[in-house]
Amino acid sequence: MLNNVNLPWLPGQYYAAMKWEFWWQVHFKGVNVVDMSAASLGDFLYIAVFFLGGLGFAVGPFILVFFISPRKTRNIANKTGQFIECGMDPIGPAWIRYGVVYYLYALIFLAFAVDVLFLFPVALVYDSGQFAGGIRDFVEIVIFVGILSLALVYAWKKGVFKWDRKVYHRQ
Amino acid sequence: MGSESIPSSIIQLSTVDKVLEIGRANSLWPMTFGLACCAIEMMAAGASRFDLSRFGAEVFRPSPRQCDVMIVAGTISKKMFPAVKTLYDQMPEPKWVIAMGNCAISGGPFMFDGQYGIIEGADTFLPVDVYIPGCPPRPEALIEGILELEEKITGSRRWPRVESGLSQP
């Protein structure tokens, strides 16, 4: 470690702090590096002064500005409070409700995606020697695709593919 | 417009006000706001060749709530009239208005008997501080207008007055 390093240009206490024995004593043997008994009221005063200084630095400008800035602004059309800052009158709130037709339509893509995802490995091995010729594999694929297709049938029945705006009534 | 009461602060200290005025005059923040071809000259004034930032007025703000100066750069059509009024309302005090170009001063070439499309001058509804004539004014003229406004705010001219080259013998 640093025991072998000769650093004559460092003052003694810094050099001591670089050795691991120093920190070992601090942490595990309870040696007081800073003697807390010597901490007087003056030390806490320093903290208080710095705390108040920091607080004043942050809050002070707000107070200062409150007193030396003009309190209101000249008006010629009474539009000072208008939220939109481009000069045009807003035509309604931004929190509008809109149709989710495309959202439902996009969800159906998931059914297609799962379908295709599992059919790729099937397509790879279907013609290999291990599986070729069996009617059982074909039936299994038909069952798999058939179950997935029920999702489409369900969506179709629900009218997802009709591009109509859906109106929901709250109970 | 005659005299107009300007909103003031709660505490007024003349020395502090003088310092604030110097600060305001040397950091005028115009609004990014052009109505017609004068705005092209305003853009040129803000760009590198004419460099309005030498005089502290290059910070064109996109929101009226951060602006000091409204440069009415161009024709105020009746369609844009409410927008100009709204933008002026939304600027915080202290605020100044520069009427740039003949259209903003008086309607310019569009002012004739029976015209129905434009407002004949910004000073019909705004307290204009500086008028910059020209159709359109050159960027140097806009810079001179900014300097005039600085002079109006602080009461003294910080930069030397440049004589016109044409008036020299």
Cα B86 from Cα B97, distance rounded (Å): 14
Digit-coded pLDDT (tens) for A77-131 = 888 888 888 888 888 887 877 777 777 778 888 888 888 888 898 888 887 777 7
pLDDT, position A1: 47
Is residue A50 predicted with pLDDT exceeding 90? yes
Residues of B in contact with A76 (CB under 8 A): 85, 88-89, 125-126
The whole-number average pLDDT for the span B4-15 is 80
Residue B61 is given by DSSP the state B
Is residue B1 predicted with pLDDT exceeding 50? no
Is residue A3 predicted with pLDDT exceeding 80? no
Assembly ipTM = 0.71
A77 touching B (Cβ < 8 Å): yes
The whole-number average pLDDT for the span B142-166 is 86
A62/chain B closest Cα distance in angstroms: 14
Q: Higher model confidence: residue A132 or residue A37? A: A132
Map out the domains of chain B as residue ranges: 15-157
Contacts of B30 (CB under 8 A, 6+ apart): B42, B57, B59, B60, B61, B67, B68, B69, B70, B71, B98
Digit-coded pLDDT (tens) for B89-123 = 999 988 999 999 999 999 889 989 999 999 998 99
CB contact (8 A) between residue A76 and residue B85: yes
Nearest CA in chain A to B32: A86
CB contact (8 A) between residue B93 and residue A86: no
DSSP secondary structure string for all residues of A60-96: HHHHHHHHHS-SS---SSS-TT-S-SSSSPP-S-S--
A145: enclosing H helix or E strand: helix A135-158
A80 touching B (Cβ < 8 Å): yes
Coil, strand or helix: which one is A31?
Answer: coil
Going through chain A in order, the beta strands assigned E by DSSP cover none
Multiple choice CATH, B15-157, 2.60.220.10, 3.20.20.100, 3.40.50.12280, 1.10.260.40: 3.40.50.12280
Average pLDDT taken over every residue of chain A: 78
- Which burial class, exposed, middle or buried, applies to B142 when counting CB atoms under 10 A from its CB (0-12, 13-18, 19+)? buried
From B125, B96, B115, B90, select the one nearest B21 (Cα to Cα). B96
- Band (B87; pLDDT cuts 50, 70, 90): very high
Structure tokens at B15: 């020395």
User: What percentage of chain A reaches a pLDDT higher than 70?
Assistant: 71
Cα B68 from Cα B27, distance rounded (Å): 9
Nearest CA in chain B to A70: B9
- Band (A155; pLDDT cuts 50, 70, 90): confident
The pTM of this model reads: 0.64
- Band (B43; pLDDT cuts 50, 70, 90): very high
Is residue A6 predicted with pLDDT exceeding 60? no
Q: Higher model confidence: residue B167 or residue A72? A: A72
Pick from B9, B63, B88: CB nearest A85: B63
- Band (A23; pLDDT cuts 50, 70, 90): low
Q: Using alpha carbons only, give the angle B76, B108, B41 rounded to the nearest 5 degrees.
A: 70
Is residue A48 predicted with pLDDT exceeding 90? yes
The whole-number average pLDDT for the span A32-42 is 62
List alpha helices for B8-62, DSSP H.
14-25, 38-46
